[in-house]
Structure 1
Amino acid sequence: SLLQTENFSTPSSTTSSSPPADLVISPNLAYMVAELFIAFLSAVGNLLVCAAVGLNRKLRTVTNYFLVSLAVADICVGAIAIPCAILTDVGLPRHNLYLCLLMLSVLIMFTQSSIFSLLAVAVERYVAIFMPFRYHVLMTSRNAVLVIFATWLLAFLIGLVPLMGWHKTPPESGYCFFVFVVDMTYMVYFNFFACVLTPLVIMFLIYAQIFVMVKRQARRIACEQSCRGERQARAAASMRREMKTATSLFLVLFLFTICWIPLHIINCFLLLCPRCSVPLELLLTAIILSHANSAVNPFLYAYTMTTFRDTFKAIFMCWRTVGGREASNWAGRDDREGAG
């Protein structure tokens, strides 16, 4: 998790001192169950998104390539980052600073990749609306792959900064807790302000411009009702599609912000007021909320995007058909064996 505290103490004022070396830490079972449930949903749901894009040619668009990159980051959160968060919840690994830093940096990497994927989607939509004649030149599949590679590389470099030396002196106890190892100045000033908040502000401004432009175009088309022909009808339909797509993608961005901002606010609170108290329940809720973001996107796509929804249904129907055939084959085989 991006912020880790001691399960043995609720006040954050103790974060400046390390726990006793002989302390036995008991895991928070409710937290672990919630994390494992989110990990399962995130991995399965986002694998379904990748499968849908791979199976349906209509979904193989530049926008969806960036959504697949986002889905891969969310799969990694479920399969790698959340298990790491559960281990560090009880202070493991102990007495291994670099492995500890690597595990604590994992979620930062995948979160940063998610942000860059969302930023790529916003820029792609901006080009589609404001530079339609250059879109097919700029937004090719090859360029999309290059952008995705660059975003993942940059995300990993940002996440590995603590391993490069920007971390606290490890505690004598050797426990791997986030607040004992990762420097909060890195988390707040570098990670939050520079690498999270700045891209989020840029994305909100991009979508604001997109909505204003699409509404303006829709009004202009509506004013041309008297000379409406097939061309105007196609333009109106195109504007409606752009508005629906922009709204769906903005909801992805909005949910990401809602899920992650509380945890970053707590980070700021701990840095600016180190003697203040943060209830453990509030902290764990913020951590779970941030991880839950990795599981919600597939549901959002299914709810707001018809092509995704239809492809998901087709995949489920295929699984049911295959499962039914296997079951009937096994039943037939058992009947034949019984008759023999």
Structure 2
Amino acid sequence: MDRTSQLYISAEAIIGAITIVGNALVLVAILKNRQLQTITNCFIASLAVADLLVGIVVAPLAALSHLGLPKNFMGCVFTNSIVVAFTQVSIFNLLAVAFERFFAIKHPFAYQKHMTIKYSMLINAGVWTLGLLFGLIPMFGWNLKKLVTDDWMCNFVTVIDMEYVVYFHFFGCIIIPLLIIVAIYVYIYLIVRKQMSQIAALEIPGPNQGRSKSKFKREIKAAKSLAIVILLFGLCWIPIHVLNSLTLLCRPGSCAYPQELLLTTIVLSHANSAVNPFLYAYGNSNFKHAFERMFCKKEYWSENASTLPSSRPLPQNVSSDDCRNDQVPEDRNKVQDFKTNGTLHDDNNHRQSVNNGENDALNSSRSSSECLSPQNKKTNRHSGEVSSSDMRNTKLELFVVDQHNDNLNNIS
């Protein structure tokens, strides 16, 4: 085996491993986190499955084909057709995502009414069926079997008809869908500019308006992230198809290119499947947090909980000076010591704990818990009012309050 083949097979192995790990993490994140179980992410999961199979199946088979394996003609056709099939599934997935984003931004109310997880899964089933059928067409006869000679050796160009690759696959099933996708995202951009200007002109303060604007911004961010995915797909896959087009359209010998260039474009096309998970993590905060939770687990939440700002107003009997940023961490530590040592107090009757020597920690922790939580229960009961920010508690606040109430119940 020459040095070029060794480098090529090594690159395929590395890309295959990265692709498997990255896309497996994407799928696990979607399965384990309800926040990620959205309609858009159904299409992302479908694309991740296609990318995962590129790492598991396509990269090893491409290396085998480069070595002239398998020796059987139809086996060689299948080995090389499956590469085309998963490419076709990926581009159809991207097309489906583009239409889904267009529908969500152009017709948000109809989208909420008609677009469901079940419906998106049916679309994905159609995408996979169509992509696999188009990609495996050489298995049904559109191949180069009639040109097989005694010295035949398994290779992509010796079994797959370049007319199929260029005219049907590249021009018909990649270029046209990519042009449609680009047109959709240009139209989405124009819609976004128009609607954002309308929102700015007619902006009326109010909770409903704020929620609508926030949701619209999330839709825009999702569209931007997916546009980057599509752009990189084009950049990674077009070079190999340009070389295939030169092979078909140029006269023999007039458009020769080195084998190293061909192998580089093949590796680049497979690398696209390894890059997508990093794009999801970079462009989607929910994916980023899901990945952090998978790797950091409890350490992630304990580390970030100490920096979570309170969204609730301060109670009337606590001044803003008592809740300075430099005091809160210290008070939180006292709260932890306070709970660990079994010291409890009641907001209503101010019961002392069984450990009379913990009065200082008690007072400090009570001040800290009031900084972290809103008006005490007594104030809320008398006023009968619940602030809208009460519905947006941080995880730390809920933990402190729930633990405090459980301790009070145990004392009672």
What's the TM-score once normalised by structure 2's chain length?
A: 0.69
Contact 2:4 2:260 in 1 (8 A): no
Corresponding residue number in structure 2 for 1:199: 177
Given the alignment of the two structures, is residue 233 of structure 1 paired with residue 210 of structure 2, yes or no?
A: yes
Tell me the equivalent position of 1:159.
135
Q: Secondary structure at the match of 2:53?
A: helix
Identical aligned residues as a percent: 45
Separation of aligned partners in 2, 1:274 and 1:46: 41
Q: Does residue 1:116 correspond to 2:92, yes or no?
A: yes
Question: Equivalent residue for 2:102?
Answer: 126
The letter for the 2-side match of 1:279 is P
Distance 1:85 1:91, change over 3 A: same
Distance, in Å, in 2 between the alignment partners of 1:112 and 1:160 is 10
SS at match of 1:176: coil
1:271 is aligned to 248
Partners of 2:242 and 2:128 lie apart in 1 by: 25
Count, aligned residues: 296
Distance 1:159 1:171, change over 3 A: farther
**Matched residue, 1:218:** 196
Distance 2:221 2:148 in 1: 50
Determine whether 1:317 maps to 2:296. yes
Amino acid at match of 1:57: R
Counterparts of 2:182 and 2:278, CA distance in 1:
22
> In the alignment, residue 239 of structure 2 is paired with which amino acid?
P
Relative to structure 2, which stretch is displaced further, 43-52 or 276-285?
Answer: 276-285
Deviation at 1:49, TM superposition (A): 0.3
The aligned amino acid for 1:256 is F
**Deviation of residue 26 (structure 1)?**
8.3
Q: CA deviation at 1:320?
A: 9.3
Give 1:141's match in structure 2, choosing from 117, 121, 125: 117
Query: Residue 9 of structure 1 corresponds to which residue in structure 2?
Result: none
Aligned 8 A contact 1:218 1:239 in 2: no
Q: Which amino acid aligns with 1:167?
A: N
What does residue 245 of structure 1 align with?
Answer: 222
Q: 1:319 to 1:77 in 2, by over 3 A?
A: farther
What is the CA–CA distance in structure 2 between the aligned matches of 1:120 and 1:202, rounded to whole Å? 11
| Structure 1 residues 43 and 319: CA distance shift in structure 2, 3 A | farther
Contact 2:104–2:219, Cα closer than 8 Å, also in 1: no
After TM superposition, give the deviation of residue 216 of structure 1 in Å. 0.9
Equivalent of 1:61 in 17, 38, 52: 38
1:252 Cα deviation from its structure 2 partner: 0.5
Kept after mapping to 2: 8 A contact 1:105/1:159: yes
Structure 2's unaligned 5+ residue stretches are 301-412
Q: Distance in 2 between matches of 1:319 and 1:114?
A: 36
Is 1:182 the equivalent of 2:160?
yes
In structure 1, the partner of 2:261 is: 282
Structure 1 unaligned regions, length at least 5: 1-23, 322-340
CA contact (8 A) 2:12 2:59 kept: yes
Corresponding residue number in structure 2 for 1:74: 51
Distance in 2, Cα, partners of 1:27 & 1:181:
22
Post-superposition shift, 1:120? 1.0
Q: Is the 8 A contact 2:68 2:154 kept in 1?
A: yes
What whole-Å deviation, never above 9, does each CA across 1:148-177 have from its counterpart, x for those lacking one? 111111111111111111111323223111
| Counterpart for residue 52 of structure 1 | 29
Report the counterpart of residue 30 of structure 1 in structure 2. Answer: 7
Return the structure number with greater relative CO, CA threshold 8 A, min gap 6: 1
What TM-score do you get using the length of structure 1 for normalisation? 0.83
Name 1:299's counterpart in structure 2: 278
Point out the structure with max Rg over C-alpha: 2
Report the Cα offset of residue 240 of structure 1.
2.0
